[in-house]
Structure 1
């Protein structure tokens, strides 16, 4: 069994991970460019963890300007086996109030123009996204939230919009009527790329607002979001610290097959694969392509 290495991608307001010991930073380059920031390596309770602020320190990068491929590739290069994404989100349900954490299990992608795959012309692959969240990792997050007395729910659909503008009321009401639970701007294509990289992935959606569908609440704005984000950051740090301390030493095989997603995904015949493209894939397809 592979040694478990936990990766954490911090979203809005989560630019650091307090409590990590033996901390070191490393700037990583990938065939897909530079990630959002330096990777921060550390340990907690003897478990290894790697932290990356999705928007960079100081929140320099917009949701559409993030190099998602470089982020996932860098974490793959760092040996990450299990990846937790922390995301600030709006809520489409009254019971999912600001400060509440939703451990989502489904996504709807409404982004446009983002690079959403490591594969393409030269080597085509189609991975399954039917069950995009690794269930064992989600379960461990739920156990950590319970242990830290953090209000949370297991399950929910995350609608990923392009942004950077917030929703119109018509959009908000439409997505609420469709039965979605939360809305954010960064889970896609992150979840898709993690699946292609065969990394077990789970998202913690930290509710900051009610978007703009709720007649009794003000329209969402940055000032209101940041106020809740600061409160959420402490809970997120406690959640992740508990998760890391209690995590098993070895990576647990994923029941959803997230760590074997490429087994039956490659469709391009070996003789037709572009050598230059294959070289760029590097570690992403190494397990099934026999690359080093």
Structure 2
């Protein structure tokens, strides 16, 4: 058994967690640069918590410029075991309406301008992301949403686009029909991949704000409408988060799905061929196996 430490990465509209005791903003340095912001640390219902505003307080980072590697590394350095990603998204499904939540279990990664791995020349590794979210943690998020009275959908495929522009009508129709995506957003990739490399359990809570541009009755995405829905979703998101510490408990067994052992057989570079400088940067995310 190890101590549970929950991290919430807050997306658009969610910039804090209410009710934390001993809360303080903590600056964390990483070899991958500075994270999006200082990290709010404290306890909620006796369980250590960390909160990181993905876009920074004041929303200063675009989806492309979010320092994803630094964010995940910083959480790992703080001893985080479980990461809940909360983010805004558009919907490709009539039944997944604005104001609903989706517990994402699959991704299609269409981003192209971001660093997507901690590994590379000097230390090569390949982790499996066939199932990119943690079923145990996702189930807890679904239960918390249900208990909070939120309309929540269990499972869905998230199309991660580069942004910052929204989809064209042709793209929206293609993602919905030909590709079978359920929701669309700009921030869960490479975040989910990096969490897996760092051996962190990861769950994605997508808060629907709009129908993207495919819906004949809604037309193109309207930012003013999105912001209105965001505010209501943020309150629901905080209610969901407040329920998680009691559900997850102060201690946890090894992940039954192996998220915390993802690197067991992933590193291919032989020890005598590994670059010391690269190894030094991997001290937090891969320290268990290195």
TM-score (norm 1): 0.97
How much has 1:212 moved relative to structure 2? 0.2
Matched with 1:234 is 235
Aligned counterpart, 1:100? 100
Partner of 1:154: 154
Equivalent positions of 1:1-292 (< 5 A) are 1-177=1-177, 178-289=179-290
| SS of 1:90 mapped into structure 2 | strand
1:188 aligns to what SS in structure 2?
coil
C-alpha distance in structure 1 between counterparts of 2:58 and 2:93, whole Å: 30
The CA deviation string for residues 136-157 of structure 1, in whole angstroms up to 9 with x for no partner, is 1011111111211111011110
Deviation at 1:87, TM superposition (A): 0.7
Superposed displacement of residue 222, structure 1: 1.6
Deviation of residue 247 (structure 1)? 1.9
Contact 1:103–1:142 (CA under 8 A) maintained in structure 2: yes
Please list every run of 5 or more consecutive structure 2 residues that lacks an aligned counterpart in the other structure: none
Contact conserved, 1:24 with 1:42, CA < 8 A, in 2? yes
Q: Deviations over 1:174-228 (max 9, x none)?
A: 0000211000000000000000000000000000000000000131122111110
User: CA offset at residue 255 of structure 1?
Assistant: 2.7
Superposed CA offset, 1:69-127 (max 9, x none): 00000000011000000010000000000000000100010000200000000000000
Where 1:236 maps in the other structure, the secondary structure is: helix
Q: Name the CA distance, whole Å, in 1 between partners of 2:124 and 2:69.
A: 16
Shift of 1:246: 2.4
**Is the CA contact 1:135–1:254 (under 8 Å) kept in the aligned structure 2?**
no
Q: Distance in 2 between matches of 1:252 and 1:109?
A: 31
In structure 2, the residue corresponding to 1:65 is in which secondary structure? Answer: coil
Question: How far, CA to CA, are the matches of 2:104 and 2:257 in structure 1?
Answer: 15
Query: Hey, what's the Cα distance between the residues in 1 that align with 2:42 and 2:222?
Result: 35
Rounded to whole Å, the distance in 1 between the matches of 2:214 and 2:151 is: 22
The answer on whether the counterparts of 1:131 and 1:256 sit within 8 Å (CA) in structure 2 is: no
**Greater fraction helix:** 1
2: CA distance between counterparts of 1:233 and 1:29? 28
**Could you list the runs of 4 or more consecutive aligned residues of structure 1 that deviate by over 4 angstroms after TM superposition?**
none
Q: Indicate the SS of the match to 1:283.
A: coil
Q: Equivalents in 2 of 1:250, 1:44: separation in Å?
A: 14
1:219 and 1:143 map into 2 onto residues whose CA distance is 33
